[in-house]
Amino acid sequence: MSATADPKSAREHARAQGGTRVETMPVLPPVADDLPEGVAPADLVWEETVAPGGYTSRRIARGTRLRLIDKGGDACASLNIFNAEMPTERLNVADTVKVQWNAYLGEGKLLLSDMGRVLASIIADGAGTHDTFCGVSNAAGNLRKYGEGRNSGAYPNGRDRLILGAAKHGLTRRDVHPAVNLFKGTKIEADGAITPLVGPFAPGREVLLRAEMDVIVVIANCPHVLDPRPEYHSTPLRITAWRGPVTPETDTTRNATPEGMRAFLNTEDYYRR
């Protein structure tokens, strides 16, 4: 008979797992020993490492800094963002590209909503390889490529992972929108062809975002949809977030371009209610 066949034994077994720690899990309460200078440990609000093929989601406040680290050089952070107060407002990748006259994300670039507001800004970028064109993998594509693509299978896909993350905030499949991919990039060639820039890269590259609104962040860590390698390659993605001040009117990112300033003005007007 199994040691957990009766309720008492099962309870004892379950309680014995308390304190177990693995690399890929949330840390509660959040603790990190590498916070930037000037950031108090009490301001830490999120510390988690997302497994290869995993996902996560969280509501974070305006001003929060969100640091992503590609621990092994093969993470792909596929990102959806929603206005936490009104999730019908969400990341619009087309406007993010169009309004900034630039399809390549990096330091100083903004992630814009479909209402012309700034959901988040990129305030530091140690990666330089990101993608605004391709979106994420789906079950059918992973089935063709890896022989399996279900959420419960060995090779989960990005879209279904984003759906699971969104569902934790009362959102459904139809709420999941085109994602930006951080750490995995693409290059548009002169003839319009898309060249994937997927590495693997050196481990430890970082991207630092600043939330410009109260937002829901949903992240999937699955291989890039154009990864040419026949094997399923993904490495852990570390996430750290801490409280920070709201962006001031003198901020260099806010004032870098007329288009960006207008988007910040729209955001500030929203919070002036």
* Residue linked to tokens 């962006």: 247
CA distance 250 to 175: 35
Dump pLDDT digits (tens) for 246-257: 999 999 999 999
| Bridge-based pairing state of the strands 118-125 and 130-131 | unpaired
User: Mean of the pLDDT values across residues 177-197?
Assistant: 96
Residue 92, pLDDT above cutoff 80:
yes
Dump pLDDT digits (tens) for 35-83: 999 999 999 999 999 999 999 999 999 999 999 999 999 999 999 999 9
CA distance 142 to 132: 20
Give yes or no for a contact between 212 and 118, defined as CB atoms under 8 angstroms apart: yes
Q: In the chain, where do the E strands start and end?
A: 44-50, 55-60, 65-70, 77-83, 110-112, 118-125, 130-131, 180-182, 185-188, 194-197, 205-211, 215-221, 237-242
Structure tokens at 255: 């004032």
Q: Is 118 helix (H, G, I), strand (E, B) or coil?
A: strand
Residue 226, pLDDT above cutoff 60:
yes
- This prediction has a pTM of 0.94
